[in-house]
Structure 1
Amino acid sequence: MSYYQRLEEMNYMAEEAEMVDFVDEMDGGAAAAGGVEDVEADEYELITKVTDTSSGQARNGQDIQGIPWERLNISRENYRSTRLEQYKNYENIPLSGEAVDKECKQMEKGGHYYEFFYNSRSVKPTILHFQLRNLVWATSKHDVYLMSNYSVMHWSSISGNLSEVIDFAGHVAPSEKHAGSLLEGFTQTQISTIAVKDNFLVAGGFHGELTCKRLDKKGVSFCTRTTYDDNAITNAIEIYDSMRGGINFMSSNNDGGLREYDLETFQLLNHFRFPWPVNHTSVSPDRRLIAVVGDNLDGLLVDSQSGKTVSTVEGHLDYSFASAWHPDGRVFATGNQDKTCRVWDIRKLSSPTAILKGNLGAVRSICFSSDGQFMYVAEPADFVHVYSTQDDYRRRQEIDFFGEISGVALSPDDESLYIGIWDRTYASLLQYNKRHTYGYLDSYL
């Protein structure tokens, strides 16, 4: 393990030590006096019992995560206040979040676009790198892929079945032969990010590994290692339709590289280099521009064919880890550790059209709905915000829970929103469904 990776792990362990442990923190005086061992056995069993929560139970007043607040020595409201006061946002640039807090106000709440549907406690999302949270993907409103420890798992909300897709704890090797593929494969790969789309799954590792799988075939199609640099974490992957009609994917790496691959032949098409780690990239709807963000205060718009920088956007106070394009191809958003999501219009890049401030910490993931009506912004923990683009981002729905967020996934038809929660006691997968208003003329007699 390199010196850099030891530092990363130390940072990660420090963050993990500060995460919410509901058993220790929320049972009040008993835990404060002596920890879990002082709690009565039946009380402990009740607090940690694995039970799902349905929309009907939530409507009847049950907590969506199954947390028995009535049995704890602190109310939900008081714990939320304490959490807001004590949560420590990770920053690369000291006090970037405080500076934003003084300048920006939160947009008004009150939007109600998605309704809680189900919380699946048998699904246990996990996080390997505290800054990288793109570990949950939905290929339909019923099919979700996520990381759970060393395994890529598939969850069906229809059958309630959780199955393993790839186990990276053991040996993974390609079953197909392609130029440049490492036929010997990998062993015990630490997966930092995944992407799933159009029947393809691509997983990126801590040492520059890339593993590609066709979901309709057994085995793995392609394995490669992009770089042998010590600083080689795969930070993000995006799968998209190419300008030529095929399917490509792009990987963002800590070595400053942005690499584009053809997903049919698995061949490297482009390799663009930047002077700082690339944390996330997004390809515009017309495939001509790439939004590039990383360990730099500024974001870039890059020509997708030449790799040359077309424009620079300035305003963030820390490093960025998220980006996304609106379907209209004119608007894109960037998410930063300064606790803001900034929305930009390519027709006027001198200043953002909106600055949206989070509650707790960094913006770790962003996505737009396929119809462009909503933008989804996830913090590192506790909050996902759904902004109405039609209201110029002034109105939002705030989805409020407790736990670190491993990823946020929107189904292709915008009907289902999935949120992965990593917590030592209450790990789960939250499902929200889009609200619809039907008049009597829409009903069948």
Structure 2
Amino acid sequence: MAHDLHDDLEFVFSGDGDGGDDYYDYFEFGDRDAVDGGSAGAASHRNKQMDDTSALDYKEGKDMQGIPWERLNYSRDQYRKMRLRQYKNYENLTMPRDGLAKECKQVERKDTFYDFHLNTRLVKSTIVHFQLRNLLWATSKHDVYLMQNYSVMHWSPLLQRGKEVLNVAGQLTATQNVRGARPLSRVQISSMAVKGNLMVAGGFQGELICKYVDQPGVAFCTNLTGNSNSIMNAVDVYQDPNGATRVMAANNDCTVRTFDTERYSLISQFPFQWSVNNTSVSPDGKLLAVLGDSTNCLIADSQSGKEIARLKGHLDYSFSSAWHPDGRVVATGNQDRTCRLWDVRNLSRSVAALGGRIGAVRGLRYSPDGRFLAVSEPADFVHVYDASAGYAAAQEIDLFGEIAGVAFSPGDGEGGGESLFVSIADRTYGSLLEFRRRRRLGYLDCYV
């Protein structure tokens, strides 16, 4: 379950350097300055930047997240041991799991594929539902999107500034006159996806919002269910086999719906026997992974919804999935604290199980070149596996706080996955962290 670090990490003494909670609440709305005018806004921004942690700060001994351990009632090592001992993983099913640890692949976790680059508190995610953590997206290494309170924020690592691109606290009306559009107000965003310039957000009561980030207003908005218990668990933007852009919405009402992006017409809706928590479409647009309130995951035809295979092996409900860019492997994340890898050429059993440290696997992302798989737990740990080494080597990123999402920067080949972003949702220490891919240069590269 979600847990705020402030409940454990109390200050030994109160200094003059840190303010109250409002010290961490500054961010920029559009081009407006802070309420006290341009100079006050600039001063606030400078103060926030001083509180950020750079790669140089980290090398000189500052905590990666800027947590002042010297002023707290625990050291970092003491608090880590306490978290490992006391953190309780949330489970929906209480099935015997005695043999699960033996089934998990033995992994060497001492590699460093990504180096720490920056931690900023200028933007920080919030989580609406503790089981849904796919709330961070990158459309380039200079463009990152995350959910913060009633806003979707854009963060520019280049400019080190945040900007609001969508506010859902007030009234929302579609700018396009299309069938099925309905006005919305005060939406709690539970899921989101951003691909290219199209952003899609799902709401706690079945709302669906589509917006082009480079255009004002929202292109389309509606409520798909009208049921207050029908949370939108996952949304996605993908290309169908013909190359057309589609929007997919997975809901707690056991239905997966697909829309086009021209008139936002409902193309298909596939019913399932249980609440659908996550969906993902294969790179060629033909296969659909469906995960939910079941120990089994499904592979279906993306066009018809017809079940092709049933993936058996998990012991609890699943909430995350990701396809390798070559389309041959799909990864599934479960509350049994494992990620399973499935070869689509033989789905009778998983080819490997990767174990976590303290909790469920809530987030999965492959790097664009397929070299790495990022696996995020509900809190504290992100594991970056080397897929090219058969997932036998990994980097363990050790943090503190609830993880709202992980994202690689997109691109092809050497230009893909240059940055890895991790978003921490915490009232005091919430932040966005950026890691840069470590490149091993050849002897002659210094002459290029």
Partner Cα separation in structure 2 for residue 298 and residue 230 of structure 1: 26
In 2 relative to 1, CA 441–104 (structure 1 residues): closer, same or farther, beyond 3 Å?
closer
Which residue in the other structure is 1:21 paired with? 5
The TM-score normalised by the length of structure 1 is 0.89
Give the alignment of 1:14-413 within 5 angstroms.
Answer: 15-16=1-2, 19-22=3-6, 24-27=7-10, 39-42=13-16, 51-94=51-94, 100-101=100-101, 104=104, 107-182=107-182, 185-412=183-410, 413=416
Partner Cα separation in structure 2 for residue 312 and residue 90 of structure 1: 24
Which residue in the other structure is 2:417 paired with? 414
Partner Cα separation in structure 2 for residue 175 and residue 96 of structure 1: 52
Which residue in the other structure is 2:32 paired with? none
How far apart are residue 229 of structure 1 and its match? 3.2
- Aligned residue-pair number: 417
Partner Cα separation in structure 2 for residue 62 and residue 422 of structure 1: 20
Aligned residue identity for 1:432: F
Conservation of the 8 A alpha-carbon contact between 2:137 and 2:145: yes
Q: Deviations over 1:76-124 (max 9, x none)?
A: 1121111011111111012666763465466221121111000011112
Q: SS where residue 8 of structure 2 aligns?
A: helix
Partner Cα separation in structure 1 for residue 407 and residue 97 of structure 2: 26
Aligned residue identity for 2:9: M
Unpaired stretches in structure 2, ≥5 consecutive residues: 25-47, 411-415
Which residue in the other structure is 1:437 paired with? 440
Partner Cα separation in structure 2 for residue 83 and residue 44 of structure 1: 25
Partner Cα separation in structure 1 for residue 113 and residue 15 of structure 2: 41
Q: SS where residue 26 of structure 1 aligns?
A: coil
RMSD across aligned positions (CA): 2.0
How far apart are residue 266 of structure 1 and its match? 1.1
Partner Cα separation in structure 1 for residue 320 and residue 356 of structure 2: 14
Give the alignment of 1:1-20 within 5 angstroms.
Answer: 15-16=1-2, 19-20=3-4
Conservation of the 8 A alpha-carbon contact between 2:314 and 2:336: yes
Q: SS where residue 234 of structure 2 aligns?
A: strand
Partner Cα separation in structure 2 for residue 425 and residue 100 of structure 1: 36
Which residue in the other structure is 2:30 paired with? none
Partner Cα separation in structure 2 for residue 254 and residue 93 of structure 1: 18
Conservation of the 8 A alpha-carbon contact between 1:279 and 1:293: yes
Q: Deviations over 1:229-260 (max 9, x none)?
A: 34311001111112222211111110000111
In 2 relative to 1, CA 126–46 (structure 1 residues): closer, same or farther, beyond 3 Å?
closer
Conservation of the 8 A alpha-carbon contact between 2:184 and 2:222: no
Partner Cα separation in structure 2 for residue 21 and residue 97 of structure 1: 29
How far apart are residue 139 of structure 1 and its match? 0.6
Partner Cα separation in structure 1 for residue 98 and residue 159 of structure 2: 46
Aligned residue identity for 1:356: L
Percent identity for Structure 1 against Structure 2: 52
Q: Deviations over 1:50-94 (max 9, x none)?
A: 510001111112111011222333221121111011111111012
Which residue in the other structure is 1:426 paired with? 429
Q: SS where residue 108 of structure 1 aligns?
A: coil
How far apart are residue 440 of structure 1 and its match? 4.0
In 2 relative to 1, CA 85–96 (structure 1 residues): closer, same or farther, beyond 3 Å?
farther
